[in-house]
Structure 1
Amino acid sequence: MNPLFKPKLIAGNSNRPLASAIARRISMHRGETVELVKTRVERFNDGEIFVEVFENVRGEDMFIIQSTSNPANDNLMELMIMCDALRRSSANRITAVMPYFGYARQDRRSKARTPISAKLVANLLTTAGIARVLTLDLHAAQIQGFFDMPVDNLYAAPVFALDIRANFTDLEAITVVSPDVGGVARARELAERIGADLAIVDKRRAAPGEIASMTVIGDVQDRVCVMVDDICDTAGTLVKAAELLVQHGAREVHAYITHGVLSGPAIERIKNSTMKSLVITDSIELSEAARATPNIRVVTMAPLFGQAILNIANGTSVSSLFSADTLEPIYEAFYPTRAA
């Protein structure tokens, strides 16, 4: 990339704090101020979304930072309208930075006459003019194949590993737990990064949203259990799994979740649960109630996304950010003892 040019960031309304934090991190890396492009994003009385860009973006490498979290449909439409505004303003390339990719759980037909909504969203983004997608911990890796464009899927596991090393004194006592069989690969990756044992909670559903039974596979007696998953929605499975681990003799139970959807009764369930802590990323902006919950803690993804945006803009490797050795200096301010 021409050194006279720099990536330009523009943010929707879904997660302004994260977008501002990413801009600050890029400013630190570049040694010059990088601010969010000034825009007007508003809704008319009938709910229609209107976008106006107040800066020249002709020929620029644009990055739209927008999670498609609740309200998913509004945020998705906002992203596509922003893309259309940039494309009609002659932006050179438009990258959708989607820390949380909504509709990712609808990645296959679970029964007859149901949609594959994740594929539909991919088609909509392509039609809108998105040239590349940058996201975090897709619910299913195969969603990348829904796009006919480059998709860079970042992982929270290396950052979680740094956080665990910084906040747990007895790493040998930790057992990483997958709260369901489908998340074993994710749990195994984190376990390998910190050299921990692995256990699984096998759940059987009587109906969607109803858990019939849960079984622990592995030894958790007198262990510090760290559950890991990509999404925490209503927190029902997570809280029940924590209770089951305590019943099986776990000394402590913690959880590391990438996307804190936290809908419905989730906050109350977490507050009253046996979990000592729930660590989530800021891929979705937290509500006031979530921020006030004492056993919820946030790990920021701004340094990770900031470096990934710079790497994309400069045509360098994004996969290098999968390594803890690469991330340690990026997160030095957060984990100085580990990065020293």
Structure 2
Amino acid sequence: MTVIEHTIAALGVDGDMKDQSSAAVSSDGNSRVTRAKKALAVQQDNKDASESEADEDDDQESDRDSNGSQSEDEESDRRDSGAEAEEPEEVDYEKQRQQNILRNQQLMMELGLQPISIRREFPIPVRPSRDKSRDDEDYTEEREYPKVRAKKRMRIPKPAYQPVQTRASKRIRGEPAKEYKVDLEALENGLQLDLNGKDQNELRSIATTIWDIGKIYKGKENRLKYWSGKGSMFRHPYPIGFRAEKHVFRERYTMHIKEGPDGPIFVVESEGGKVFEGSSPTLPWTKVCLASYSKGTRISGPLFFGFSDPITQKMIEELEGYQDWETVSSEERAKVEAKAESASEALNPDLKTKVFGGSSHPEITKLITSRLGVEPSAVKLSQFKNKETSVEIGVSVRNEDVYIIQSGSPKINDSLMELLIMINACKGASAQRITAVIPYFPYSKQSKKKKHRGAIAAKLVANILAISGVDHIITMDLHASQMQGFFNIPVDNLYAEPTVGKWIQENVEDWENGVVVSKNAGGAKRVTSLADRLNIDFALIHMDRSRKGHAQGPDHSLSKPENIYNRLEEEDDDDDSMVDAETGHEIHRAEAADETSLMTLVGDVQDKVCFIVDDMIDGCHSFLEAADNLVGHGAKEVYIIATHGILSGNSLRQIEECANVHKIVVTNTYPLPAEKRALCSKLVILDISPTLAEAIRRTHNGESISYLFTQVPKSL
């Protein structure tokens, strides 16, 4: 027996270990020591007994060896015969194992090797099996665990879409750049402003070191290319030869600015030899971000180059030849105007070109050719007795640039047919390019449908011109902007606004206190453009034609023809007087007996000079009504201004008799005979030929004509 078994036997521990555990807890320390001594004594006695038993076993073993195989056979027979009688009882090993564990724990507590503790077992709740059809012997118990219910997830509604605030620059947003005033003497950072030799300027606020500030660009080309945009923190020139370095993105980069064919070139070079270039300070640094680990980072090129620091701005201002923005921009504009003036000369005689003039407006043809320094090419225009038009080109036009000047006139159909035949004749004579110069485009009033079964005659004229063989059209102040979409060939629509604005500034007293007025809503865009050019206010006159029965009840249907036609009317068709094709008598617009007109002025004209502006003036009824309304609201003077002075019928006589109209100003795009001009002493005709001549010269030389949209060519 082992020591532990002898000890347990000495202590009298039996199978009921729960009672012994309770007794052990209630006993004191002395009893535990006494029992331990007894256990040791019992252990010694057992040891002596085991030695005596071992001697006896040796003697028996020797006897068995002497008996030999016979004793072994007898022993085996005895075991076989009494096996069933001597078979041990079945042992519950799990219960025995639990008892052994309890006995060991009890012994260790008695020896003081383990603190005395009471093991508490809590009952586990059980529930019967769901399958109750099984037999009792197969019945098993299942542990019942508490059920945990998952909380219902509350759905959070998505917030409404909110547009992200734009991060565009101040220049794109139209905000002016902030003005900075820097007192360098108050900056006590010991920076060197003179970068001669090996001196350096370290901009500590942005960690950029400038090694060379460079020099101001003094080339013959446009110096404005080397200036920063108006949205920059400082408006400054970019110095050529600028050198700096900056440590960013875990690497050191060097920066410099060099002269390029179309402006400065900004270069950023890494220590590894990678070179990034761009036309602005931000472009190369953007490429650096894409090539580094910092993809998607937004950076400021002027900040990285150091141009956002006041110290850098001060150094640039101290460079030789520095001028402020106002001085440089004014000098460059004067240079451009001088260049345009010198270029406004005769056409190059080495280049092959021919200029023809129709019979509609010979006066403007003579003015244009005189400014170009060429003579009108020979052409024979005639009519047969049956009024058919005949055209014969008198010079060779093979492989030449041909310009045909023909405007609208009182004989609009004859003028248009003559133009078409001239174009077709030059096309058949192998002209290289044919350009039609049409100051007043015919049938421009019919640029949209006024009735359901009406025709868009302006679109028809555009198609006929394209079929006749014309390659390019130059016109002025089209009646509607959508007319440019009628053509499938290039169309240059020039404007008389620069000429009109110049005349107002030179001939109208107190024009700064003036107001530009539109007599209808359709001309609001044209009016605001002239008002912005002159930097004065504008006003609008709204004509409201209402009927007495319009609001009588819901039975008044808008599907009636007269109501739809009123909606489709041209905004300024109140002056469109018509003539019967058979009788030749004038036809006036039929007005309903219950129709009333209400004229509303939007704007302040009190004690101001008013300019009623429109693209054309045919009849003068609406202009005179607008003039009376303006004078009734306190206007000081009223000027009627239009590009195309058609002035049909007795319009000039009516304007002459109207005391509220001070002047009427038109251009010479439409022919007015001398006897008609004599009817009105208030008539002023502006010469528009310089703009048309310059457009021909620039088109022939392959130059841009956008300059003519805002400037007036100077006289030769």
Deviation at 1:57, TM superposition (A): 1.2
Q: Which of 672, 682, 688 in structure 2 is aligned with 1:295?
A: 682
Deviation at 1:332, TM superposition (A): 4.5
Letter paired with 1:259:
H
Contact preservation (8 Å) 1:201, 1:217: yes
Letter paired with 1:331:
K
- State how far apart, in whole Å, the 2-side matches of 1:2 and 1:235 are: 44
- State how far apart, in whole Å, the 2-side matches of 1:152 and 1:46 are: 36
Deviations 1:245-298 (A, max 9, x none): 111110000021000111122111111122111110000111224321210010
- State how far apart, in whole Å, the 1-side matches of 2:620 and 2:653 are: 9
Change (3 A) 1:164 1:38: same
1:283 equivalenced with 2:669 (yes/no): yes
Contact preservation (8 Å) 1:69, 1:101: no
Deviation at 1:13, TM superposition (A): 0.8
Q: Which of 259, 266, 269 in structure 1 is aligned with 2:651?
A: 266
Q: How do 1:78-157 residues align onto structure 2 when only pairs under 5 Å count?
A: 78-157=418-497
Contact preservation (8 Å) 2:515, 2:537: yes
> Normalising by the residue count of structure 2, what TM-score does the alignment of the two structures yield?
0.44
The number of residue pairs the alignment matches comes to 323
- State how far apart, in whole Å, the 1-side matches of 2:353 and 2:437 are: 12
Q: How do 1:49-88 residues align onto structure 2 when only pairs under 5 Å count?
A: 49-88=389-428
Q: How do 1:12-27 residues align onto structure 2 when only pairs under 5 Å count?
A: 12-27=358-373
Give the equivalent residue in structure 1 for 2:32: none
- State how far apart, in whole Å, the 1-side matches of 2:400 and 2:599 are: 52
Give the equivalent residue in structure 2 for 1:331: 714
Letter paired with 1:45:
K
Give the equivalent residue in structure 2 for 1:9: 355
Q: Which of 698, 701, 708 in structure 2 is aligned with 1:311?
A: 698
> Normalising by the residue count of structure 1, what TM-score does the alignment of the two structures yield?
0.91
Change (3 A) 1:54 1:235: same
Query: Rg bigger for which structure?
Result: 2
Contact preservation (8 Å) 2:690, 2:715: no
Letter paired with 2:609:
V
Where relative contact order (Cα < 8 A, 6+ residues apart) is larger, the structure is 1
Change (3 A) 1:311 1:35: same
- State how far apart, in whole Å, the 2-side matches of 1:331 and 1:219 are: 35
Letter paired with 2:443:
Y
- State how far apart, in whole Å, the 1-side matches of 2:647 and 2:484 are: 25
Give the equivalent residue in structure 2 for 1:336: none
Deviations 1:48-100 (A, max 9, x none): 00011111111111111111232111111010011111111111111110000
Letter paired with 1:278:
I
Change (3 A) 1:271 1:331: farther
- State how far apart, in whole Å, the 2-side matches of 1:2 and 1:194 are: 36
Gaps in structure 2 of 5+ consecutive residues: 1-346, 547-565, 567-572, 575-588, 590-595
- State how far apart, in whole Å, the 1-side matches of 2:653 and 2:384 are: 34
Gaps in structure 1 of 5+ consecutive residues: 28-33, 334-340
Deviation at 1:183, TM superposition (A): 0.3
Q: Which of 620, 641, 662 in structure 2 is aligned with 1:235?
A: 620
- State how far apart, in whole Å, the 1-side matches of 2:465 and 2:543 are: 35
| Runs of 4+ with deviation above 6 angstroms | none
Deviation at 1:6, TM superposition (A): 4.6
